[in-house]
Amino acid sequence: MTYLETRRHELRKRRLMMVDGNLTVNTETADTGASVRVNQEGYWGFAASSDTASDEIARLTDQAKRNAAAMARFGPKDVLPLAGGTYRGQHEFRGKAPIGRKELVERMAALTAWCKQRYPDLKSTRIVLADEHHAKRLATSTGADALNTIQRAQVHVIFTADGKDGAPVDIIEYGSAKGSLADLELSVEAWAPQLEQTYRHLRAKCEAVPARGGLHTVVLDAPLAGMLAHEAMGHPCEADLVLGGAVTGDLVGQRVASELVTMIDFAHTYNGEELMVPVYCDDEGTPARDAVLIQDGILTAFMSSRETAAKLGIEATGNARAYAPSDEPLVRMRNTVILPGRTSLEDMLAGVDDGYFLMKTGNGQADSTTEFMFGVTLAYEIRKGKLGRAIKDTTVSGSAIKVLQATDAVSDGMHHSCSGYCGKKQPMIVSMGGPALRARAHLGGE
């Protein structure tokens, strides 16, 4: 039996950068195309084009079938029925009326002028704005017929000052929202409290001391805890990586975290509200459902596509997603979070006699063993339950399983962000977040 999937996909992107009042980047791109994917005798064939006309779809269908037939020369396979149901529906986010380039530049200039007047000792102020819009029309031979849209806007404000040793010191503040830049608050009034706090952190970082390397008690603020959930634990719970040998494949039903930890990849809704990256069906037409990866510390499930679900004998979760019109769907995360606990962040910090509060990260990497290393760009000492000196940029590393098993407190707050991309052969818009965690991890030091 042949499975057939057709996707028409439009991707529009904008990006602006202002450096000290000068507009240095101003780009708009549009990428439109169609793709066809077939599965014949257990082999996939794929073809894509920038043309979305009906006759081109027919040509792509023929090409995809011939590509699958070419792959079948490797020999017969045990063919499993592809898992997953069928979705029909349309979902479009309708936000505020779009903002033109002139108004965006004016808002960036107003923020820059305010920062220059308020913080005259800054060496540089950079503001980056970006948004993107994905519209995907999908049809499959199983009867799926869906229109899905993903819209994301983001802003980065970067302050630079001279450190006590004369070297430049940077700090970045992020903002993100569902929708276009019109849906992202960019006024001076809205940003002033956040920028005041960012500036205080920058001045503290200019006087920073090195961290003491080694194993320490750490409080991971929500952005870092979200990165840990996504990079170090989320990827090893993607079914294609499980089939490729991820350590999680043999751990279902076993304890991989403290009983305080529940981790979920949400499809589209949390607490009755639509999330930043709502996926009602994936790019295979599978109805999307929440994937409860860890329940009270026990590994329970994986995120899957139709094929990976069939191979593992599990339910398809609707996690097959493609970034660009010419990309094939891969198993990707959507809105991956650890659920909040019951401890206030203040009480978590007060319970640390000697440790570190890790607040911001600039990057991270992990592998299928759950080993990870993240850059830490803002952190403070904790001494007798109080925040002390800021520390210089460093790294935090370890095994996500060991860190989550050592977690003895989970904060009652919930933070969501979709300000970056996830990389896995192709970029992808995802959201991540959750509460703060208190655990044990290794810090780099001098």
pLDDT for position 363? 78
* Crossing angle of the two packed helices 101-118 and 188-206, in degrees rounded to 10: 50
pLDDT for position 403? 97
| Helix (H) or strand (E) run with residue 160 in it | strand 145-162
Q: Tell me: the pLDDT tens digits for 204-227?
A: 999 999 999 999 999 999 999 999
| Helix (H) or strand (E) run with residue 230 in it | none
Q: Tell me: the pLDDT tens digits for 385-443?
A: 999 999 999 999 999 999 999 999 999 999 888 988 999 999 999 999 899 999 999 99
d(CA 24, CA 18): 6
What is residue 390's three-state secondary structure? strand
- pLDDT of 115 higher than 90: yes
- pLDDT of 296 higher than 80: yes
Query: Is there a contact between 26 and 108 (Cβ–Cβ < 8 Å)?
Result: no
- pLDDT of 445 higher than 90: no
Q: Name the residue type at position 307.
A: E
Query: Is there a contact between 395 and 443 (Cβ–Cβ < 8 Å)?
Result: yes
pLDDT for position 350? 97
pLDDT for position 129? 98
- pLDDT of 67 higher than 90: yes
CA quadruple 35, 77, 301, 235: dihedral sign? negative
- pLDDT of 446 higher than 80: no
pLDDT for position 364? 79
pLDDT for position 416? 86
Per-residue confidence at 321, pLDDT binned at 50, 70, 90? very high
Per-residue confidence at 228, pLDDT binned at 50, 70, 90? very high
Task: Return the DSSP state at 232.
Answer: I
pLDDT for position 405? 97
> Concatenated DSSP letters for 98-149?
PPPHHHHHHHHHHHHHHHHHH-TT-SEEEEEEEEEEEEEEEEETTS-EEEEE
Alpha helices in 155-305 (DSSP H): 188-206, 222-227, 239-243
Nearest CA-CA partner of 186 in 427, 357, 16: 16
pLDDT for position 320? 98
- pLDDT of 1 higher than 80: no
pLDDT for position 271? 92
What is the average pLDDT across 232-252? 96
Q: Tell me: the pLDDT tens digits for 250-275?
A: 999 999 999 999 999 999 999 999 99
pLDDT for position 78? 84
Per-residue confidence at 362, pLDDT binned at 50, 70, 90? confident
pLDDT for position 197? 97
pLDDT for position 180? 96
Percent above pLDDT 70 for the chain: 100
Task: Return the DSSP state at 1.
Answer: -
The structural domains of the chain, ordered by start, are: 3-206 (3.30.2290.10), 214-443 (no CATH)
CA quadruple 19, 184, 177, 202: dihedral sign? positive
pLDDT for position 351? 96
Percent above pLDDT 90 for the chain: 91
Alpha helices in 179-252 (DSSP H): 188-206, 222-227, 239-243
Tell me how far CA of residue 18 lies from CA of 22, 105, 161, 199, 390, in angstroms.
Answer: 5, 8, 17, 18, 28
Give residues with Cβ within 8 angstroms of 156, minimum separation 6: 126, 127, 128, 172, 173, 174, 175, 419
Q: Tell me: the pLDDT tens digits for 6-25?
A: 999 999 999 999 999 999 99
Mean pLDDT of the chain: 95
Q: How buried is residue 30: exposed, middle or buried, by Cβ count under 10 Å (0-12/13-18/19+)?
A: exposed
- pLDDT of 63 higher than 90: yes
